[in-house]
Structure 1
């Protein structure tokens, strides 16, 4: 249970409150810079925990359970903070809502299908969605650390809409699979 991959996954969850604290004060570039560093570390450990678990043959039920939860906790917390600080504002909030709704829907769908012992593997397109989503949120955090470079914020918003588009496609793919198993 206390394998390095599982410890890394738990550290991601425990790092989220620190990340939120760094983003708490809009207009504080140092906090955003610390938040970006922490966000990057959390994102790297997301890749590393899965890689190590497979490489070491230590894939565990706890890790399989916690890994997607850790991802969703971080994404939801960062989106909520960036909306609260107005780093994501106006019509761009719609893209953020699309991402949050899909995350909740897919979690519920996986729980439902798990009770039926139906596995829904992560598609390659969903991995691209996650990558674009991480890039978008990272760019938006970095933009708070670099207020003199407004193009970083624009890149983040563009990537956010790209992630929202892939979110709709992959969410629909998962829903189609799930509908086949519903009465």
Structure 2
């Protein structure tokens, strides 16, 4: 096990993953939303830096190669669970999240079964884009929670008619309700759109890995 900066960043990303869930268990909102968003974005940034630094400084290692994809999957899986719970488990988030979680478990099982032949399931460019879009989608949905909480707090004590009049510009907008209403809506649309795109790419890459592994899954086929 080699302790260099790229590997330390990977370990920190792995440790940050449960912190996203712990933030909602230990902190009230919106502090939990902010803590989860900062942890997740920070961890996502290290995903790029650890690989870049490992290549630049020629510090690639078997430990890093093993841990990097695990850290990515743990971070995405835990953050997805948090997002699904924080948004109230709506169909538009629950279904793509289920597809993503199913694929990650399925492909991990394939790699374990293939053993020495697992190298045929090399990470493709499309799979890297899939991971990137997953991370962006989760970050946007975490930000949506912040905007939704702020809108709710700033409109507290206002009835539906008053809120509507402020949003329509009839009444003075002292609490910046229109900004948070717009940010809440746009972040929801963007987050849901991205999570569905990520789910499609997740399915496509999962199917690609499955087809590549088929010769090793047939009885009487290739040994491995």
* Same fold by TM-score greater than 0.5: yes
Match of 1:11 in 2: 12
Q: Does 2:182 match 1:153? A: no
Match of 2:78 in 1: 77
Match of 1:176 in 2: 211
Structure with greater Cα Rg: 2
Post-superposition offset of 1:102:
0.6
TM-score by length of 2: 0.76
List per-residue Cα deviations over 1:66-110 (Å, max 9, x = no partner).
Answer: 111101111110111122223542243111000001111111222
List per-residue Cα deviations over 1:107-127 (Å, max 9, x = no partner).
Answer: 122222333364322111111
TM-score by length of 1: 0.92
What is the number of residues matched between the two proteins? 183
Counterpart Cα distance in 1 of 2:119 and 2:83: 35
Post-superposition offset of 1:26:
9.6
Q: Does 2:160 match 1:125? A: no
Counterpart Cα distance in 2 of 1:86 and 1:126: 26
Counterpart Cα distance in 1 of 2:112 and 2:65: 13
Aligned counterparts, 1:91-106, within 5 A: 91-106=92-107
Gaps of 5+ in 2: 149-179, 219-224
Runs of 4+ in 1 over 4 A off after TM superposition: none
Change in CA separation of 1:100 and 1:123 when aligned onto 2, cut-off 3 Å:
same
Counterpart Cα distance in 2 of 1:53 and 1:159: 29
RMSD after superposition: 1.9
Match of 1:110 in 2: 111
